Amino acid sequence: MAKILVHVTNGPENPTRATLAFLVAKSAADEGHTVSLFLAGDAVQLIRDAVLDNLVGLGTGKLREHYDAIVTGGGKFYISGMSSKGRGVTDSDLSGKPAEFALPNVLIRLSLDHDRMFTY
């Protein structure tokens, strides 16, 4: 099995692309691959429960369903600390989730550590 990294920069302003990123990650997890997501820019808002519960993409499904399947499959979320600070995403938004704040050097490390990287 492969290690898949999905780098997401589209947030709630583009629900179809945002949910598509999670759908691809979910699909990889469903096939048994190791999945990591790095959320940066506007995508950091996707980790908020209110967004997870309400965002639906056109033909790409419900964000919450994809997120739950990724978590069930052992997926890990890295949330840009710099982007989060600018958008008000805090520790409470990450509470209870397999997620941690990360700096750009972590994205570089992850990209080199994974077999494939998808960007949305």
Sequence ranges of the domains in the chain: 3-119
pLDDT digits (tens, 9 = 90+) for 21-79: 999 999 999 999 999 999 999 999 999 999 999 999 999 999 999 999 999 999 999 99
**Fold of the 3-119 domain:** Hypothetical Protein Ychn; Chain: A, (3.40.1260)
Task: pLDDT band for 117, please (50, 70, 90 cuts).
Answer: very high
pLDDT digits (tens, 9 = 90+) for 78-113: 999 999 999 999 999 999 999 999 999 999 999 999
The rounded distance, in Å, linking the Cα atoms of 28 and 40 is 20
**CB neighbours (10 Å) of residue 101?**
18
pLDDT at residue 17 in the model: 98
Residue 102, Ramachandran bin (φ over 0: left; ψ between -120 and 50: alpha; else beta):
beta
pLDDT at residue 34 in the model: 98
The rounded distance, in Å, linking the Cα atoms of 76 and 63 is 16
Instruction: Give the CA angle between residues 101, 106, 112 to the nearest 5°.
Output: 145
